[in-house]
Amino acid sequence: MVHRVDIIPKKESRHTGLINQIKDSGIGKIFEASCRTVYFIESNLPENKIEEIVIRLLIDPVTENYILARGFFAAPPQINEILVTHNPGVCDPVALSLEKAIKDLNVPVATARTARWYKFDGLSVRDIEKLAPRVLYNPLIEHVLDYNKVKNLSTLSEFAGKDYCFELRSVDILSADDNRLMEISKQGCLSLSLEEMRIIKGYFTARQNNPTDCELETIATLWSEHCCHKTFRGIIEYEERDESGAVVKKETINGLLKSTVMQATNEISHKGCVSVFHDNSGIVDFDAKNNICFKVETHNHPSSLEPYGGASTGIGGVIRDILGTGCGAKPFANTDVFCFAPWDISYDDLPKGLLHPKRIIKGVIGGVRDYGNRMGIPTVAGAVLFDRRFLGNPLVYCGTLGILPKNKSFKKVDIDDVVVLCGAKTGRDGIHGATFSSRELDEQTVALNSAVQIGNAIEEKKLTEALLCSRDKNLFNAITDCGAGGISSAITEIASEHGVEVELDKVPLKYRGLSYTEIWISESQERMVFTTKEENITALKEIFDEEDVEMTVVGKVTGDHRLRLFYSGNKVAELDMDFIFNLPKLAKKAAWQIKKEEDTKVGDKKSYNKDLLALLASPNISPKDWILRQYDHEVQAGSVLKSMAETGGRLGVSDAAVVRPDLKSRKAVVIGMGINPFYSDIDPYWTAALAIDEALRNLISCGADLRRTYILDNFCWGSPQDPETLAGLVRASKGCYDFSTYFKIPFISGKDSLYNEYSVEGKDIAIPGTLLISAISVIDDWQEVSGNNFTQRGNLIYLVGKTKPELGASQYFRNAGITGGIVPKVDKADAYDIFTGLSRAAKKGLVASCHDLSEGGMAVALAEMCMGSGLGANVFLAEAPVSGKLLDYEVLFSESPTRFIVEVVKRDKKDFEKTLKGLPFGLIGCVDDKPDLMIYNKNSKPVVNESLAKLRKAWTGTFKEFQ
Amino acid sequence: MKPKALILRTAGINCDKETTLAFELAGAEASLRHINYVKEAKSLSRYQIICFPGGFSYGDDLGAGKIFSLELLLWLKDELKAFIGKGGLVLGICNGFQVMVKTGILPDADFRQKVTLSFNDCGRFVDRWIYLKTKEEVRQFVKQIGETSPSAGWRGRRTRDEKKETKPEKIWTKGLPEVIRLPIAHGEGKFLAPQKIVKELEAAGRIAFRYCDDVGGIEESETVNPNGSLRNIAGITDATGRILGLMPHPERCMFEHQIPDWHKKKTVPWGLRIFQNAVNYFLLRKK
């Protein structure tokens, strides 16, 4: 029997948020809308028992009432009402919690489900049908309950299907010709090329029998772009052509990653690197007791389809990377970086099949917020960028930092260790990534191919507690996470050097009917795999039971270098580890067309007040405090410098975030990032150089030291099948190598996401080549951290670093619609010395505050330092160190890298200048308590002359509708 | 002897470790335990202080603190009653406050829910620093409950406080300046209660903290009152003053560096004092 509970607020208030959201989607009518939470409980208990459950669990007696009824609907619904619920197999965390609470009450097994009820007055059925999937639910994960389909339904069970009946399947590839091989790859969604299929055929021909479906799936998963980064490991035939079309350079690159990013790390051979490009994240030295580790992942495609679920499983996945580093690290901070399309596009202009940017923005932020906050990991740093080309392909970068004891930094797997799967149960989540289909809950629902994944943070939080406690009691010796490919990649990787046997029927399942292959490749969230000695199982069980987390022995490490899978005693797969991990290298072509840069110049203006206000209001510059405030950025109590903070009603932004990962140590970690895809439109080589420079600038201005700094790369690019796009990726990788070695900052980890394209009316639109550089630095004492806003009137203002007329792809030129211009370039003549010089000055206590110059250049940086402090400034352009003769706007808005505004107390003038001797710097002005930003040109005319109030109004007004 | 503090956690509680550290720094012997452990052991009598830390117990599914409070009622109600009856101190921070309210440990320790912490007016989770007023015996509120207009008359009317007899002991807020800064981080922190109860709480001096501006003015604007709480209430005590629940996080103000502008001016991390007050309550009483 199904019981329905509607929760009714005692004091009904107008659902203004919901109404505005609907109006936004283009409904021009006057209407009212209301919404309620609905629960379904399936149980054979008498009604009064159900009522007791409702009163004890579902309502807040101070604010809520309820209506209890039988069945999904007490009566046929009105035409202006809809009831939205999850699709079968889609995780419903609230229902799981409700089931747990009902169990606490000692009530015999009951199942539960949640739904949302909406009612609209003043809208037609057609209006409701049109708006509902636009704003109220996502058909990939939810659907509207159809009264006629469920009126006679008396169960919540989603799968009336039978138990799985074992049948071993094989795929005939031995007799297949090339055409048939490709058919097999396509039909099975294997994404294997003909060349790869031929190699697979060769392997099984030698073995003299056909592969089982499971064997073929295993190879396809482990050879996928996602699992093994074919492009970065393959062979690239690279050439450069000049403007006349003549080839000026030709090169064969054998392993792009190995020869650029990893090569740089090898050459630098930094003594702080503990484990790099090897484990699930990069591990570096922290103090005598602990190491720290860092990983950044992308979750772009899932976030474009289901922003909330995509972003939450993105953050959930990267947290598991940290839990799966060494013998398990404790996550202590999250980072996130998003690239979205501007949100001013009308719903009617939106290409079919795409979600509106507003919905993507809110969904992604909500996903990171709800998952990160529930995990108790502070989300401390990030960035958000806007460009129209991200319309079909938003980028969602999620990063996590962890801390782990020195003696837990490496895994050790031994023969005869048992393999343990722990965490959530396994379902059909994410099988074959994008081939899912949505189905409705009705009498006919018998099978489900796959489900879009929704994160369940509490499951992962419990898992984290159980694992870290077991780690500290030395109860396991190796661990890894279940990510892409699920246990198929986790178990084969953890046992890759030995061999392993797995009994697939031991895996705990969410529901009946999964085949052995589905169990093996399911990507269900919140699961980890570890190996341990058999005798530890009892002690482990005790810990996992206390935390209410499931753990099951599913296999054993063998010594025969083979992967063997069984289902109820039947062997369903047997493969050589050497074959699985020795994937073929494929060759791709890359062709770069050298473009000549144009030194575009425009005339100078009398006043730049307007331009500065417009810059401050640009979505890329306007502060994202409205996002940070939704994140619990202070949990774990280690916050030293917040990315943004309000003091005395004034908002101030920081260049980086600083966190103490261990509250018993004075050491702190500085976290910053660099990203600017717009330079890629001119040359991705400089995109890379500038992203590295920006990430380092952000750390230096908070007091970090280059010698204890490490970086991560995350490439998001278009299709590598396109030679020009691939050439851009090669250029960026080369930039990474050149500037990593120049600054002597090693890469410790990285990840790439390719094929970020979408088509509109048959035309493919690729994202701009986007490289995120995330940087961390270890500081000996948190007290050495400096802030990024002015502190005291009368203090001196220095500009450190040389300004050049570099406005190509700058925010100023983009605002003005100018496409030409010289792209900024990192100057190897003095960049390194500027960084180390400033670190020295900071260490000596000569820096009162410091802020780097990035988008919008010097004028924006000065405005930010003023607004954050409430203090004004008087600045003289003529004193800025420049290269050549610059126009006023060039000094104000150039984006030349390696530059800082530094605030120095008067009495430190001599010491500061002595410390920076030989480097380009200029004393450009002083801090004033009059709240105005005054910038004078060489003729002593004020070219900027604006009150802080007006600057602040422009700066903080951009995201009003999201606040 | 150091007083013993029990920090009680369950699935989804996430401020437990730093809250344990705060009690340790304050001089307590702190034990962090899962409710599944405590429900078997049923031994609350060895502790002097019990703390419910912040987090998202069971994801706050079914409402903030709801399932954790159900478990306390099912498994530890008698033990908690005995503990409170014997004069132990109880502290609930953020989710812990929500749990205490839904268990009925606050306001009256009779295990009946009378007040609640509901969704913030802005409709979502907010993490930011706010100002709290820690004293109110010398000020009286001109505004009466039930009025909805912004309260210009709340600020700074000084009159003599006449009722003195039933004031609870100021245990937790002892030695705090009139206005302190702490961060909040919650989605459901709007204090709501029937008028009668609020009047009683105010009359008995049981409002421990109110959201205020930087000089102690009580205004209802969102910048001052971040969640729309009735009468700007951020924390309350029971009639004895031994049980405190508050939405802001004192454990996020136990080190100087946690305060946003620490590198600009010298500031005192007043949050730690709240934990020290609990420890001193036992240490000083014995002498």
Q: What is the pLDDT of residue B165?
A: 42
Examine the pLDDT at A161 and tell me if it is beyond 60. no
Question: Is the per-residue pLDDT at A752 higher than 70?
Answer: yes
Residue B154's pLDDT is: 47
Q: Touching check for B272 and chain A: CB below 8 Å?
A: no
Q: To the nearest whole angstrom, how far is the Cα of A787 from the nearest Cα of chain B?
A: 7
The answer to whether the CB of A460 falls within 8 A of the CB of A524 is no
A97, A701, A849: best mutation site toward chain B, by most B Cβ within 10 Å? Answer: A97
CATH code for the domain in which residue A841 is found: 3.90.650.10
Q: How far apart are CA A908 and CA A911, in angstroms?
A: 5
What per-residue confidence (pLDDT) applies to A156?
Answer: 83
Instruction: List, in sequence order, every residue forming a beta bridge with A796; answer none if it has no partner.
Output: A904, A926
CA pair distance A850, A468, nearest whole angstrom: 39
Closest-CA residue of chain B to A664? B21
Q: Which residues of B touch A60 (CB under 8 A)?
A: 63, 66, 102, 113, 116, 118
Q: Is residue A635 part of a domain?
A: no
Partner A contacted by B217 (CB < 8 A):
no
Reduced to 3 states (helix: H, G, I; strand: E, B; else coil), residue B38 is helix
Spell out which residues of chain A touch residue B183, defining contact as CB-CB under 8 Å.
634
Size of interface A-B (CB pairs under 8 A): 154
Distance CA B174, CA A34 (A): 46
Task: Compute the distance between CA of residue B254 and CA of residue B173 in angstroms, rounded to an integer.
Answer: 15
Q: How far apart are CA A555 and CA A503, in angstroms?
A: 6
> CB-side exposure of B112: number of CA atoms within 13 Å?
3
Instruction: Evaluate if residue A443 carries a pLDDT over 70.
Output: no
Instruction: Check: CB of residue B15 under 8 Å from CB of residue B54.
Output: yes
Distant-in-sequence, close-in-space partners of A905: CB < 8 Å, separation ≥ 6? A792, A795, A796, A848
Cβ contacts of A17 on chain B, cutoff 8 Å: 123
Choose the final residue of a domain: A84, A116, A150: A150
Contacts of A663 in chain B (CB under 8 A): 18, 21, 255
| Cβ within 8 Å, pair A634-B185 | yes
Return the SS3 of A834.
helix
Cβ-defined contact of A635 to B185 (cutoff 8 Å): yes
Greatest alpha-carbon span in chain B: 53
**pLDDT at residue A213 in the model:** 94
Please tell me the distance in Å from B263's CA to the nearest CA on chain A.
7
Q: What is the DSSP letter of A429?
A: B
The residue ranges of chain B whose pLDDT is under 50 are: 138-166
Domain boundary among A150, A177, A192: A150
In a domain, A932, yes or no: yes
- The CA–CA distances, whole Å, from B77 to A385, B16, B107 equal 52, 21, 16
Task: Count CA atoms within 13 Å of residue A95 on its CB side.
Answer: 22
pLDDT in tens, A120-151: 999 999 999 988 988 899 888 889 999 988 88
The whole-angstrom separation of Cα A260 and Cα A735 is: 9
pTM flag (> 0.90): yes
Does the beta carbon of B116 lie under 8 angstroms from any beta carbon of chain A? yes
Restricting to B residues 133-172, those with a Cβ less than 8 Å away from any Cβ of A are: none
Q: Is the pLDDT of residue A450 over 80?
A: no
Tokens 């990983």 correspond to A295
Bridge partners of A338, per DSSP, are A384, A396
- Cβ <8 Å between A57 and B62: yes
For residue A852, give the nearest of A703, A706, A688 by alpha carbon. A703
Looking at the domain assignment, is residue A389 inside a domain? no
In angstroms, what CA-CA distances link B126 with A130, A631, A705, A774?
33, 7, 33, 26
User: Which residues of chain B have a CB within 8 Å of the CB of A96?
Assistant: 61
Does the beta-carbon distance from A637 to B254 stay under 8 Å? yes
Q: A520-539, pLDDT tens digit by residue? A: 999 999 999 999 999 999 99
Boundary of a domain, candidates A150, A184, A203: A150
User: With 70 as the cut, is the pLDDT of residue A505 above it?
Assistant: yes
Q: What is the chain A residue with the closest CA to B103?
A: A56
> Rounded CA gap, A815 and A812, in Å?
5
Question: Could you please report the per-residue DSSP string of A903-934?
Answer: EE-GGGHHHHHHHTTTS-EEEEEEEESSSEEE
The pLDDT score that the predictor gives to residue B210 is 97
| SS3 label, residue A37 | strand
In DSSP terms, A501 is beta-bridged to A556, A564
Q: What is the mean pLDDT of residues A715-736?
A: 95
DSSP classification of residue A621: T
Distance CA B70, CA A105 (A): 9
Least confident of A259-263, A389-393, A810-814, A951-955: A389-393
- Tell me which H or E stretch contains A901: strand A900-904
Pairing of strands A247-254, A639-641: unpaired
Residue B132 parent element (H or E): strand B126-133
- A779-830 pLDDT tens trace: 999 999 989 999 999 999 999 999 999 999 999 999 999 988 999 999 999 9
- B25/A contact by beta carbon, under 8 A: no
Q: What is the pLDDT of residue B267?
A: 86
**All domains of chain B in start order, with CATH:** 4-286 (3.40.50.880)
Contact A462 B258 (CB under 8 A): no
Q: Which residue of A has its CA nearest to B197?
A: A62
Spatial separation of the C-alpha atoms in residues A285 and B214, rounded to whole Å:
42
**CA A336 to chain CA mean position, Å:** 5
Beta strands in A242-288 (DSSP E): 247-254, 273-275, 282-285
Q: Say if A823 falls within a structural domain.
A: yes
CB distance B254–A645 less than 8 Å?
no
Q: What is the pLDDT of residues A860-888, one digit of tens each?
A: 999 999 999 999 999 999 999 999 899 99
What are the residues facing A333 on neighbouring strands? A401
**Active site residue: A15, A226, A278, A561, which one?**
A226
Per the structure, the complete domain to which residue A38 belongs is given by: 2-150
On chain B, the residues whose CB falls within 8 A of the CB of A57 are 62, 66-67, 70
DSSP secondary structure, A331-353, as one string: EEEEEEEEEE--TT--GGGSPTT
B190/A contact by beta carbon, under 8 A: no
Residue, of A352 and A451, whose pLDDT is higher? A352
The string of pLDDT tens digits covering residues A559-582 is 999 999 999 999 999 999 999 988
- The closest CB to that of A791, out of B192, B214, B264, belongs to B264
The CA distance from A752 to B47, in Å, is 53
Q: What tens digit of pLDDT does each residue of A465-488 get?
A: 999 999 999 999 999 999 888 999
Sign of CA dihedral A930, A933, A938, A943: negative
Tell if the CB–CB gap between A98 and B62 is shorter than 8 Å: yes
ipTM reported for the complex, 2 dp: 0.93
In a domain, A636, yes or no: no
Q: Which residues of A touch B30 (CB under 8 A)?
A: none
Residue A216 backbone class (left: φ over 0; alpha: ψ -120 to 50; beta: rest): alpha
CA-nearest residue to A374 within chain B is B56
Residue A21 has pLDDT above 90, yes or no: no
- Residue A689 CA to residue A291 CA, distance in Å, equals 28
Q: pLDDT, tens digit, for every residue of A342-374?
A: 999 888 888 887 889 999 999 999 999 999 999
Sequence-distant (≥ 6) Cβ neighbours of residue A406 within 8 angstroms: A288, A289, A290, A291
Query: Which residues of B carry out catalysis?
Result: 94, 249, 251
Structural contact between residues A83 and A32, judged by C-beta atoms closer than 8 angstroms: no
**Arithmetic mean of pLDDT over chain A:** 92
Q: Does A369 contact B74 at a Cβ distance shorter than 8 Å?
A: no
A395-421 average pLDDT score = 97
Q: What is the mean pLDDT of residues A901-911?
A: 97
Q: What is the pLDDT of residue A446?
A: 37
The fraction of chain A above a pLDDT of 70, given in percent, is: 97
Would you list the DSSP string of A863-888? HHHHHHHT-EEEEEGGGS-BSS---H
The amino acid sitting at A340 is: F
> What integer is the mean pLDDT of A222-242?
87
Distance from CA of B68 to the nearest CA of A (A): 9
Q: Which residue has the tokens 């049981």?
A: B206
Number of domains in chain A: 2
- Kindly indicate the confidence band of residue A28, based on its pLDDT and cuts at 50, 70 and 90: confident
CB B111 within 8 A of CB A614: no
Report the SS3 class of residue A317.
Answer: helix
Buried b (16+ CB within 10 A) or exposed e, B4-31: bbbbbbbbbbbbbbbbbbbbebbbbebb
Q: In this structure, are residues A325 and A283 in contact, taking their beta carbons and an 8 Å threshold?
A: yes
Looking at the predicted structure, is the pLDDT value of residue A641 above 60? yes
A651 within domain boundaries: no
Chain B closest-CA separation from residue A76 CA (Å): 27
Put simply, whether B222 touches A (Cβ < 8 Å) is no
CB of B263 less than 8 A from some CB of A = yes
Nearest alpha carbon to residue A3 among A144, A119, A113: A113
Q: A143, A270, A299, A633: which one is catalytic?
A: A299
End-to-end CA distance of chain A: 43
Identify whether A229 is a catalytic site residue. no
Residue A167 lies in a domain: no
Answer for the pair B28, B278: CB distance below 8 angstroms, yes or no. yes
DSSP-derived secondary structure letter, B46: T
Could you say which of A629, A634, A786 has the minimum Cβ distance to residue B252?
A634
Helix residue ranges, H only, chain B? 16-26, 35-41, 66-75, 77-85, 95-103, 195-203, 271-286
- Per-residue pLDDT of A293-350, as tens digits, reads 999 999 998 888 889 999 999 999 999 999 999 999 999 999 999 999 999 988 888 8
Q: What is the residue type of A851? A: H
pLDDT at A461 over 70: yes
Question: Is residue A864 included in any domain, yes or no?
Answer: yes
The CA distance from A424 to A549, in Å, is 8
